[in-house]
Structure 1
Amino acid sequence: MNTIKILFVLTSHDELGDTGEKTGFWIEEFAAPFYYLKDRGADITLASPKGGQPPIDPKSASPDFQTPDTERFNQDKETQELLANTIKLAEVDAADYDAVFYPGGHGPLWDLAKDLHSISLIESFYNHDKPVATVCHAPGVLRLAKKADLTPLVQGKKVTGFTNGEEEGVQLTNVVPFLVEDMLKANGGIYSKSEDWAPYAVEDGLLITGQNPASSEKVAELLWNKLN
């Protein structure tokens, strides 16, 4: 059978609003799905708006947030090298891939949520019957994406994403450009969630969404099963 090709799209944004602190993507949300899919034989390409090394959220690299997957990544020079050389989103053709996956972290709320290349990629995957998977803050990238009939992509779809309670928990409610839970509801998504920080993922047709970092592997599992 043909190798399954999956595109991972990472943020290039590293400023946490006006706080003077750094953000980026959350390592666990990259590492858990990456290894889950790679270990099953997927061919993964990494892209970001600016290309090159996407910023890692420094908090996600702290000892408190290490998992077996992030520890594997820390020892894995080959994947670190791959990550340091992401291709530019503008150079990506959705036709080359079977699915797209967006890891979260706060970064995507600033750049990918309104990046025209990202929006058009998401729409292209969706309109060609290819799965679009996002986790944690990454469902924010669906904000401006539309179906062929120009209604919001998430309208009438079962979705989840980082909860208002979780954002409150990390004290960034007033820092982020928008709240993922509120946006999904405002766009007509049928939003559901589990308790804060518990693993929870939802699949509805081509859309797969996960609530928080702990949901990353669950999203990858749903995506893999869908592609097989």
Structure 2
Amino acid sequence: MNDMQLRQDIVEELDFEPGIDARGIGVSVTDGVVTLNGHVPSYSQKIDAEKAVWRIKGVKALAQELEVRLPEHAKVNDDEIATRAARIIAWNVGVPADAIHVKVSHGWITLSGTVDWHFQRFAAEAAVRRLTGIHGVFNNVEIKQALKSDNVREKIKDALRRHVEGEASRIRIDVKSPGDVTLEGDVGDYEERRAIERAAWSVPGVRAVHDNLHIQWHAS
């Protein structure tokens, strides 16, 4: 697929997605690398635009340069955002009680604290992403559980065999203590890439995953 056709497919996908106001979004494509620039009226739309791009076959990489420009009616004071964020996290059954601390500055939410599992860290971020009036989220929540690195690599390979059929043998896994994982290799599409990353995060003791996987599209 050439860059012109890929760009057209992305523009049509953004226009098709009902939750995205694509009028302020610019799209450029060079050798399968997509750049989104311009602006959207909410942080949730910024996230949704990124997901929409990755759904398109042929996308190799994405540079996300969208700015969140809140309309006047959507602007919310930091103290109100902080109150809402703390409340919605407290209501989330996937997040341990009192584990997450919330700070808000100029519409940016910073999450901190420690949890046992990555899914808890992700659940806290997902809970606040769609709050009205925010510009973005910094997730600084740490995972406190740690295993010896000599066991983590084999456990990740086992997880790949369970979760992602046929991928374990061609993915290179580098583990540095404590639980710092780097994934390298070629994958067929974005969904495979995400599945491999999720498999790595599913292993106890993994505290960071650096996704250096490359999407290798095959000509149809």
- TM-score by structure 1 length? 0.26
Going by fraction, where is strand more abundant, 1 or 2? Answer: 2
Q: Which has the higher contact order (CA 8 A, sep 6+)?
A: 1
Bigger CA radius of gyration = 2
